[in-house]
Amino acid sequence: MSRHYETLNLATVAPAQPFEVEGGQPLALDSVSPLRLANSRPGSLVAAVSPESLGAEQYRRLAIRLQHLRTQRPLSKLLISSAAPHEGKSLSAANLALTLARPCQQRVLLLEGDLHRPALLARLGAQHGLGLADWLQQRAPLNKCLARWPDLPLWVLPASRATRPPLELLQAQSPARLLSQLDASFDWIVIDSPPLLPLADACHWAQAADGVLMVVRANRTRRSDLELALRQLDRSNWLGVIFNDCHAAEHRYYTQYYPGRAS
């Protein structure tokens, strides 16, 4: 069971309009190919496989708080990062994106920003041939790089493999410019960022995002690493912490109130 804490407050959204891509043609999201899932209910995604679990409930709480926060400030581009690798940021980003796409039929994009070590598709148990690197290097149009999650208004833009240094790509096609194009076509963009400490790429994404959520893993994340990572962020964009892999009293209370809904 994973427990997720957040420090937020929260919102409703106006529908986004299609943006114009290369050649001035609007992006037709409905024509995007479906994501090929090896398993229609990936076990690692509690939002998909265990919607009545405490883990899924915590993501719903986070989504509600983010919605309320949108009534107080611009907020559509969310960066999910961590201080170091292996703290659960990719699964947190995927679960949050699934949760945001469910209740209000808002259009959500899950964007993998880690061009160094693409792993999102493996986490999702999915396959897709093209991705962000192909678009940035002008090897494929955007609608071919996107894939749509079956039966949900959720689109995925995996990183794919870059043939040029990732930082060089991001400097040539800045995340701010990229996200400003995508922002017009989606209600939410959830960015699975590289970890903040090892790579400079994460800072580029953080500067372009409206808000940053840090994933902290219980009994793994070092306090010194977290403090160092937070010093690299603009504190006005820091939304809070997702506390991952934490067993606490709330799990017991939840399962007592809803017998059989453990996670």
Average pLDDT over residues 64-84: 90
In a domain, residue 26? The reply is no
Please report which confidence band the pLDDT of residue 247 belongs to, taking 50, 70 and 90 as the band edges. Answer: low
Check residue 41 and give its pLDDT. 54
- Residues of the domain holding 163: 76-246
pLDDT digits (tens, 9 = 90+) for 112-128: 998 888 888 888 888 88
How many whole angstroms separate alpha carbon 23 and alpha carbon 97? 29
Q: How much is the pLDDT for 99?
A: 94
Q: What is the pLDDT of residues 40-71, one digit of tens each?
A: 555 578 888 888 888 888 899 999 999 999 98
Label residue 190 left, alpha or beta by phi (over 0 means left) and psi (-120 to 50 means alpha). Answer: beta
Tell whether 226 is covered by a domain. yes
Mean pLDDT, the chain, rounded, equals 77
* pLDDT at position 184: 83
For 199, other C-beta atoms within 10 Å of its C-beta total 18
Nearest Cα neighbor of 229 from 257, 261, 202, 191 is 202
Residue 254's pLDDT band (cuts 50, 70, 90): very low
Chain center to CA of 28: 22
* Total domains, the chain: 1
Identify the three-state secondary structure at position 58: helix
In a domain, 179, yes or no: yes
Report the alpha-carbon angle 41-245-122, nearest 5.
Answer: 40
**Residue 65 within any structural domain of the chain:** no
Determine contact, residues 147/33, Cβ cutoff 8 Å. yes
Q: Is residue 180 part of a domain?
A: yes
Name the pTM for this structure: 0.81
Quote the pLDDT of residue 78: 95
What pLDDT was estimated at residue 102? 87
- Quote the pLDDT of residue 263: 46
Q: Which residue has the higher pLDDT, 245 or 109?
A: 109
Q: What is the CATH number of the domain that holds 202?
A: 3.40.50.300
User: What is the structure's pLDDT at 69?
Assistant: 92
Can you give the pLDDT at residue 49?
82
Tell me whether residue 178 is in a domain: yes
- Reported as a pLDDT band with limits 50, 70 and 90, residue 206 is confident
Residue 6 confidence (pLDDT): 38
- 111 occurs within a structural domain: yes
Rounded to whole angstroms, the Cα distance separating 79 from 86 reads 16
Task: Note whether residue 161 is domain-resident.
Answer: yes
- CB-CB neighbours of 178 under 10 Å: 21
